[in-house]
Amino acid sequence: MAWFDWQDVFSRAVVQQLPINRSAFHPTEKADAMIETLESTQVAPETLRKIDAYWRAANYLSVGQIYLYDNPLLKRPLKIEDVKHMLLGHWGTTPGQNFIYAHLNRIIKQYDLDMIYVSGPGHGGPAVVGNTYLEGTYSEIYPHISQDEEGMRKLFIQFSFPGGIPSHASPECPGSIHEGGELGYSLSHSFGAVFDNPDLMVACVVGDGEAETGPLATAWHSNKFLNPATDGAVLPILHLNGYKIANPTILARIDHEELDQLMRGYGWTPIFVEGDDPMRMHAAMAEALDIAVEQIQSIQRKARESGDTTRPRWPMIVLRSPKGWTGPKFVDGVPIEGTFHSHQVPLSDPATRPDHLQQLEEWLRSYRPEELFDEGGRLRSEISDLAPTGDRRMGANPHANGGRLLRQLKMPDFREYAVEITERGCRGIGDTHVTGKFIRDVIQLNDDHKNFRVFGPDETLSNGLEAVFDVTQRQWNAATVDTDELLSPTGRVLEMLSEHQCEGWLEGYLLTGRHGLFNCYEAFVHIVDSMFNQHAKWLKVTSELPWRHKIASLNYLLASHVWRQDHNGFTHQDPGFIDVVVNKKAEIVRVYLPPDANCLLSVMDHCLRSRHYVNVVVAGKHPSPQWLTMDEAVEHCAKGIGVWDWAGNESSDDPDVVMACCGDVPTLETLAAVSILHEHLPELKIRVVNVVDLMRLQPKSEHPHGLSDPDFDELFTQDKHVIFAFHAYPWLVHRLTYRRTNHANIHVRGYKEEGTITTPFDMTVLNDLDRFHLVMDVIDRLPETGGQGQALKARMQEKLVEHRRYINKNGQDMPEVRNWQWSPTR
Amino acid sequence: MAWFDWQDVFSRAVVQQLPINRSAFHPTEKADAMIETLESTQVAPETLRKIDAYWRAANYLSVGQIYLYDNPLLKRPLKIEDVKHMLLGHWGTTPGQNFIYAHLNRIIKQYDLDMIYVSGPGHGGPAVVGNTYLEGTYSEIYPHISQDEEGMRKLFIQFSFPGGIPSHASPECPGSIHEGGELGYSLSHSFGAVFDNPDLMVACVVGDGEAETGPLATAWHSNKFLNPATDGAVLPILHLNGYKIANPTILARIDHEELDQLMRGYGWTPIFVEGDDPMRMHAAMAEALDIAVEQIQSIQRKARESGDTTRPRWPMIVLRSPKGWTGPKFVDGVPIEGTFHSHQVPLSDPATRPDHLQQLEEWLRSYRPEELFDEGGRLRSEISDLAPTGDRRMGANPHANGGRLLRQLKMPDFREYAVEITERGCRGIGDTHVTGKFIRDVIQLNDDHKNFRVFGPDETLSNGLEAVFDVTQRQWNAATVDTDELLSPTGRVLEMLSEHQCEGWLEGYLLTGRHGLFNCYEAFVHIVDSMFNQHAKWLKVTSELPWRHKIASLNYLLASHVWRQDHNGFTHQDPGFIDVVVNKKAEIVRVYLPPDANCLLSVMDHCLRSRHYVNVVVAGKHPSPQWLTMDEAVEHCAKGIGVWDWAGNESSDDPDVVMACCGDVPTLETLAAVSILHEHLPELKIRVVNVVDLMRLQPKSEHPHGLSDPDFDELFTQDKHVIFAFHAYPWLVHRLTYRRTNHANIHVRGYKEEGTITTPFDMTVLNDLDRFHLVMDVIDRLPETGGQGQALKARMQEKLVEHRRYINKNGQDMPEVRNWQWSPTR
């Protein structure tokens, strides 16, 4: 069925949607009739002409941003001084995005849509900036970029100019929730935005370069998680302009039939709009958008009226148009429009090449600016009339400035979930299991506003948050069978085996003013290092923009962590995500390592209430000792770091050694070591310091949570040895403390890439972080422990041999370790 | 066309492949006839019975590995003591993989295939270990795991046991190039393995959980890069067992037609094998494999005989079988087989529950071990006869121990590409452009063996390696048009806009004994942090296995780096990859920051010759000053760190201050600062230290490249201030040097997340790493510079104001900065 020859497309305009023959789909009558190629349109010719004028205006502004330093309205012939010295920017994607934006303006007005725009392709800045300027939102936020000649001049200069704005849909651009400097997350962000926003529609432009990335390739499957009754809709517009930086794109170079199959295989119903003749393309695109919006509305109406939420085959649009459309066809004999040569700046040298300057002027004038802008530089009202007004403008839509819509979460009192401390070190059920109940009630309390979600790659149960399933299920809209459990068309938990989707959905959810939690294995959260980086950068920049309202924090709960991956082996052992995190701006990042369940509750409560941070919480799911009563935990977490008097035995303020610990397993091993020392070297005065808030270790000058130097010295002394048992790579502690008075005496034990299939305790032995090694560390640092110390050290070495022998035979830890419990010996 | 009801499948066995109606495909006659459901087979019944016996043997060994501590052949009734204390492992995926492996054994023998097996689903260890044991390779490598009763007992005990082996296809398992603890890379690794291996076929089992990951979702498109004449073939087997840890999988819960479209949309021709009745499934699978192999061979024959390499629609298999197939149907009334409950250990409590113990024994005996193994515990020869012998066994195939096949690269003399240093600091063409010529000749010299490739996400040109296109092109097998450039069905460069694919392909290429280079933007290499982690872990473990031969290093060239992303903005600015890298084992990782082109040549030569490392090279592509002659560069790089006498002015060995630099831009700014200091404070004795090999900074005890403390003190003094200009986040230097004598005096300037659209020099100003700040740092640290120093500091502050004013007006750096050149003033 070779009904399409892709090499032949650029002489005409086509809109095509084959009907699909499945009962699950709700076709409009219009779609049913579309077996044949359509070239006619039902949109009035004068509307199409207005769209074209709007498009030309946006294209004019885009070229102006890339090139012009002065003479914005071309009131005089273009001179060298009118052109920027350094030409930066990307023309290639821009005209296609301008085309889409203009058409969306019409459709928003026609159907009174609540719509935002997500710009997936890289470097579409000139388009989104130009369009928000045309619709007026840009000047409202930045009054100096006024809608007149002087404002236009400033608009042009600031683009890719020092102190100005980047070439992406950056945070500075109104209407953006997706900068897109790094490619791949446009669809995930879009789906995140429409979950629980039933009236919102996101027009998501997916670049065909971006479409090659892994995260984007799997994001198409997000439609298996969308509920047509309670969620909004995403309208993906796959923009096939055919090229990346210097290569063609895959999706532009497969058979038309294959692309159709691919989109249908992903569960979408594609509508193809293909061609290069502007007026025919306007007709085709208008038609396609009418079809798409009517199909979406029909799907939603059916689901909402009948309650039948069977997964629909949502429409999507494939727009095939030339890269650098309407730009120079040739420069110096090299074909530009429709090739990768139009990716950046087609005319590279107008300042020194008079012919380039002339060609630039012709290009600009080809949009007939005098028809578009009045004498003062304002878009003529008969054209601006195309765009919606007020908050319906995509640049002004409040969903794209999510903090405006943010509601405070209703929070249960976390103290009510407290673990009772019958005695210090009593065994808990697993810290995340306790917090699961708290999260469960957060879900329930906010059920009316549906503004809180839990995301995870199929690990919410495995991570110990099973309590949430008392009150909700996993939202899932693919097929089900009788034996399925905890699946439902609506539910607060979203699980897909893609950390990229979990992160992208959550980001989109937060950016549109809601709250959430991402639970993940510690080792595999590295999969989203780069997404975290980009989100942290977004938070940093938006925190400096007064008009951007603060959003809820991005909360990570890393529950299956490095020290309890003994059974999963070496591949699952990596605590390095926090190393990546602390590289970002101190104002944005927070890292917590609560030692027990009550501390975890206190920390989690704090994180869920916080704004505009990234909070990383590392906590265990396995049964482990409980140390602090809720009152103690609240106080300890508020301080973030503190001495555990009950564990140490210093009578004065002058210990012989400080035993510091950070993380649940290091705390356990430290206290076990302390109890051995108490028993065998009762004279030794030990101070125990526990760290919950990692950033307390940094100097106050480096991080807002940082301890002052006197406070740090107070805790860690100025000259005593500090044996520091740390959850992650040991160097991180040094990196945070290297300027502290006593740094030379801080000796850190942490994970050092030694692991295999082994027992829980043996994981710590392999990395010298176990109780026996910690005791030996103390003795090695304190020669004054003398013969008694040496005897104890020998005993510890014997213990290690005994341990090794035991586990190799029995496959589990020896009873004295397995059943160890804290008992105060003083 | 609802020709399939997925809910109905588990009562029968089906093999289906619809013909595709395209000329590009080369169908066998057999495939043409397959419009109808096939349930017959042409494979002889006795062969099918042998396959079934082999499968039962593998299943028996798998259950044994998960459960048994003793009584491996069940010669006596099962007792509690025969069962392990801690039950770890994953049954769910195992029987399906055993099924596939047995069938592949037949097909290898029948067609004399050179085939390896890639196990994509997580935790398939019991399958691959059991099968390599059955075929004999396991015992050849580990003689104590002998093919007898005692060996079988040890085989069972070691699984998921301290000191034993993990639950994945880990490095310890012969035949594995893909551990798969982290999911998503099986297809990328498989394609990497078959590039330039025309006779190799990789059977790649893709888990349906894994298939949800982004990297896997885009890896299907790898077929657009495969040349049927000069590369081998990948046979993907999508294993739909329906469930992940606790959820169904997406691909198992979409309509059959959608899945068919999805695979066709990805460019494959799926063959469906679906059912649960073992004997009928054997017939169907045998048939499907015959079809697939014959189609692959037909495609290859056509391409190789006719030279027509038009992209074929390669076959792939969809195997839908129950999760935990042949395991317990119900346990305690809960359905297990065919549900997610079979993911891990179906019978959790045989040691305390007699009924579980009995059910386990029945399960084990259901495979009829007495029919399979002789009295001594060896697989009966009439069954073992199914498997191939010698190197045709998938566990023994040399491609899966790539070091065995590794050929030394033929290397040109890198000195011949030297930049001539007409004067210190003369402007080069961009360091990577110089190295591009060297890489070009590496490609050409090794053209006969075709064992070197360059990978990148559409950035090989952008990263300055354009010279490689003098001798090769980008390999590309999708459609082309007249205006395309540098595309060809064969070529040494592979570019897809997915860092995941580039990394995964390269890993697969290296693991099968070849060489390569990954060029990438520095900020976006974070996308593969997690893949790097896994590869580094693989290298660490394999370096400890004597039978694993060393492979070529994984070389990263990060050419578009943080300091020259001024025009791309904040999203493109992140130098944190090396922070992730240095967390891994010191024996494995190397980080180089050559300051100029000659150093880069020397470093790159070294990296390409090295083995079993990960080398990270950060180098610029923009024109920049050239400092060292080739002889000097060779000496400097060999030392990895050194004093630049010609730049400093200390007459004795006693400088007033040390100016250290690491990275090309920091070196430039440091030398500019030094020249200002020489001019204005000529009395000040400055030592300039440049660092190429970052690991030299670490103590020798921490890294094999680490400087001894005396050597470090010699360079950095014991007590003088060190102003250290660093390429990446400043804390990394502290982390590496915190134990050094003079650490308290080391003051590091680096990137601290301050960036925007700006000029190249301004990027350094924003982060206080520019020459003016460096000069001020020196003055601040050396009060003895007195009034002269204060005057210079004031001048520097004026310069910064002047700079800001200039760039805001002109959009580029002021001429004195732009045109600055080193001139020795002493």
The pLDDT value given to residue A30: 36
Q: Do B471 and B450 form a contact (C-beta atoms < 8 A)?
A: no
With a CB cutoff of 8 Å and minimum separation 6, the contacts of B251 are B208, B211, B212, B238, B240, B259, B262
Are residues A139 and A228 located together in one domain of the fold?
yes
In one-letter notation, the amino acid at residue A455 is F
Nearest to A354 by CA among A26, A36, A80: A80
Residue A101: both structure tokens together: 């934006």
Q: CA of A756: how far to CAs of A759, B143, B164, B377, B697, in Å?
A: 9, 21, 8, 29, 29
Cβ-Cβ contacts under 8 Å, A2 against chain B: 22
Same domain, A307 and A196: yes
In chain A, what residues touch B240 (CB-CB under 8 Å)? none
Residue B638 belongs to a domain? no
- Chain B: closest CA distance from residue A587 (Å): 11
Q: Domain for residue A413, yes or no?
A: no
Query: Whole-angstrom Cα distance, residue A342 to residue B517?
Result: 28
Q: How far is CA B720 from the centre of its chain?
A: 43
My answer on whether A552 and A669 are in the same domain is: no
Q: Return the structure tokens found at A480.
A: 């089900």
Residue B11 has pLDDT above 80, yes or no: no
Residue B299 maps to a domain: yes
Residue whose entry in the numeric block shows the structure tokens 């950033």:
A695
Contacts of A533 in chain B (CB under 8 A): 523, 526, 574, 576
Q: What is the pLDDT of residue B85?
A: 85
Identify the pLDDT of residue A23. Answer: 26
Is there a domain that residue B653 lies in? yes
- Whether B669 and B591 map to the same domain: the answer is no
Q: Please report which helix (H) or strand (E) contains residue A802, including its range.
A: helix A786-810
Closest to B580 (Cβ–Cβ): which among A497, A570, A580?
A580
CB contact under 8 A, B580 and A264: no
pLDDT for residue B565:
87
Spatial distance between the Cα atoms of A780 and A785, rounded to a whole number of angstroms: 9
**For residue A304, which amino acid is it?**
R
The partner residue sitting opposite A569, judged by closest CB among B166, B807, B812, is B166
Q: Which candidate, B772, B668, B686, places its Cα nearest to that of B722?
A: B686
pLDDT at B55 over 90: yes
Q: Are residues B785 and B682 in the same domain?
A: yes
Degrees, nearest 5: CA angle B519-B525-B526 = 170
Cα of A526 vs its chain's centroid, Å: 13
Give per-residue pLDDT as tens, A418-445: 999 999 999 999 999 999 999 999 999 9
Domain's final residue, options B603, B618, B633 = B618
Average pLDDT over residues B644-661: 91
Closest to A458 (Cβ–Cβ): which among B245, B756, B811?
B245
- Name residue B169's amino acid: A
Q: What is the pLDDT of residue A608?
A: 98
Tell me if A272 sits within 8 A of A15, measured CB to CB.
yes
Decide if B214 contacts A499 (C-beta within 8 A).
no
- Would residue A432 count as lying in a domain? yes
- A631 pLDDT higher than 90: yes
Report whether pLDDT(B609) > 60: yes
Assign 3-class secondary structure to A161-213.
Answer: CCCCECCCCCCCCCCCCCCCCCCCCHHHHHHHHHCCCCCEEEEEEEECCHHHC
Average pLDDT of chain B is: 93
DSSP-H helix ranges across B545-686: 577-581, 597-609, 630-639, 664-680
pLDDT one-digit tens code per residue, A7-46: 444 444 556 665 433 222 223 333 333 333 344 457 899 9
Contacts 24+ apart (CB under 8 A), B817-822: B817/B761, B818/B761, B820/B672, B821/B425, B821/B426, B821/B427, B821/B625, B822/B423, B822/B424, B822/B425, B822/B625, B822/B627, B822/B647, B822/B671, B822/B672, B822/B675
Residue among A609, A744, A255 nearest B737 (CA):
A744
The domain boundary, picked from B618, B651, B681, lies at B618
User: What is the full DSSP assignment across A764-784?
Assistant: HHHTT-SHHHHHHHHHHH-GG
CB-nearest to B483 from A167, A339, A498 is: A339
**A93 has a pLDDT exceeding 90:** yes
Residue A382 located in a structural domain: yes
Residue A691 sits in a domain whose CATH number is 3.40.50.920
Residues of B in contact with A485 (CB under 8 A): 246, 340
Verify that A207 and A299 share a domain, yes or no. Answer: yes
pLDDT of residue A214: 98
Same-domain check for residues B383 and B285: yes
Q: Tens digit of pLDDT for each residue in A324-373? A: 999 999 999 999 999 999 999 999 889 889 999 999 999 999 999 999 99
- Where residue A273 sits, what CATH number does that domain have? 3.40.50.970
Over the stretch B232-288, which tens digit does the pLDDT of each residue have? 999 999 999 999 999 999 999 999 999 999 999 999 999 999 999 999 999 999 999
How far is residue B667's CA from residue B79's CA, in Å, rounded to a whole number? 71
- The CA-atom distances, in angstroms, between A267 and each of A223, A252, B87, B707, B788 are 7, 20, 40, 58, 73
Work out how many CB contacts closer than 8 A connect A with B: 361
In chain A, what residues touch B729 (CB-CB under 8 Å)?
A: 583
What pTM, to 2 d.p., does this model score? 0.96
Contact across the interface for A263 and B265, Cβ inside 8 Å: yes
> What was the pLDDT predicted at B115?
98
* Contact in structure between A491 and A473 (CB atoms under 8 Å): yes
Please judge whether B209 and A497 are an interchain contact, meaning their C-beta atoms are less than 8 angstroms apart. Answer: yes
**pLDDT given for residue B14 in this prediction:** 58
Closest by Cα among B690, B759, B731, B774 to B575:
B731
Q: Whole-angstrom Cα distance, residue B527 to residue A741?
A: 38
Provide the shortest C-alpha distance from residue A756 to chain B (in Å). 7
Contacts of A523 in chain B (CB under 8 A): 182, 533
Q: Do B583 and A567 touch (CB under 8 A)?
A: no
Instruction: Answer whether A63's CB lies under 8 Å from A74's CB.
Output: no
Does pLDDT of B37 surpass 60?
no
Q: Looking at this protein, which amino acid is placed at residue B315? A: P
| A451 in any annotated domain | yes
Mutate to test the interface with B, among A735, A808, A814 (most CBs of B within 10 A): A735
* Domain total of chain B: 3
Are B580 and A529 a contacting pair at CB < 8 A? yes
Among A162, A253, A734, the residue with its CB nearest the CB of B735 is A734
Residue B335, domain member (yes or no)? yes
Q: What would the mean pLDDT of A500-523 be, rounded to a whole number?
A: 98
Question: From its phi and psi, is residue B17 left (phi > 0), alpha (psi between -120 and 50) or beta?
Answer: beta
Q: Which of A571, A573, A588 to mutate to test the interface with B (most CBs of B within 10 A)?
A: A571
The whole domain housing A779 covers 641-818
Q: Give B353: exposed, middle or buried? Use CB within 10 Å, 0-12, 13-18, 19+.
A: middle
Tell whether the model's pLDDT for residue B3 goes beyond 80: no
pLDDT in tens, A267-288: 999 999 999 999 999 999 999 9
d(CA B613, CA B590): 7
Q: Do A181 and B759 touch (CB under 8 A)?
A: no
Give B-chain residues touching A253 at CB under 8 angstroms.
224, 478-480
* pLDDT value of position B39: 45
State what percent of residues in chain A have pLDDT above 70: 95
Q: What is the pLDDT of residue B699?
A: 94
Can you give the three-state secondary structure of B235-259, one letter per residue? EEEEEECCECCCCECCHHHCCHHHH
Statement to judge: residues A146 and A74 lie in one domain? yes
Q: Which residues contact A789 (CB under 8 A, 6 or more apart)?
A: A681, A779, A782, A783
* Residues A603, A749 within the same domain: no
SS3 A48: helix
| Cα dihedral B743/B747/B750/B752 (nearest 10) | 100
Q: Decide which of B349, B369, B397 is a domain's last residue.
A: B397
Residues of chain B in contact with residue A120, where contact means CB-CB under 8 angstroms, are: none
Kindly state the average pLDDT of the residues A42-53.
Answer: 93
Do residues A186 and A511 lie in contact, with contact meaning Cβ atoms separated by under 8 Å?
no
Q: Judging by DSSP bridges, how do beta strands B426-427 and B625-626 pair with one another?
A: antiparallel
Give the residue from B505, B19, B441 showing the smallest Cα distance to B231: B505
Helix, strand, coil in percent for chain B, rounding step 5: 45, 15, 40
pLDDT at residue B673 in the model:
98
Contact flag B248-A484 (C-beta cutoff 8 Å)? yes
Q: Say which of A244, A568, A807 has its CB closest to residue B497.
A: A244
Phi, psi of B791 (to 5 degrees): -65, -40
* pLDDT tens track for B18-30: 544 322 222 333 3
pLDDT for res B7: 41
Share of chain A above pLDDT 90, in %: 91
Average pLDDT over residues A660-685: 97
CA–CA separation, A203 and A236 (whole Å): 6
pLDDT of residue B93: 96
Asked if pLDDT for residue A814 goes beyond 70, the answer is yes
Q: Which pLDDT band, with edges at 50, 70 and 90, does A295 fall under?
A: very high
B239 plus B368 within the same structural domain:
yes
Residue of A nearest to B751 (CA): A583
DSSP A224: G
Confidence (pLDDT) at B15: 64
* Whether residue B349 is found in the same domain as residue B204: yes
Q: Which amino acid is at A23?
A: S
Q: What is the mean pLDDT of residues B779-803?
A: 97
One domain, residues B527 and B549: yes
For residues A710-737, average pLDDT: 97
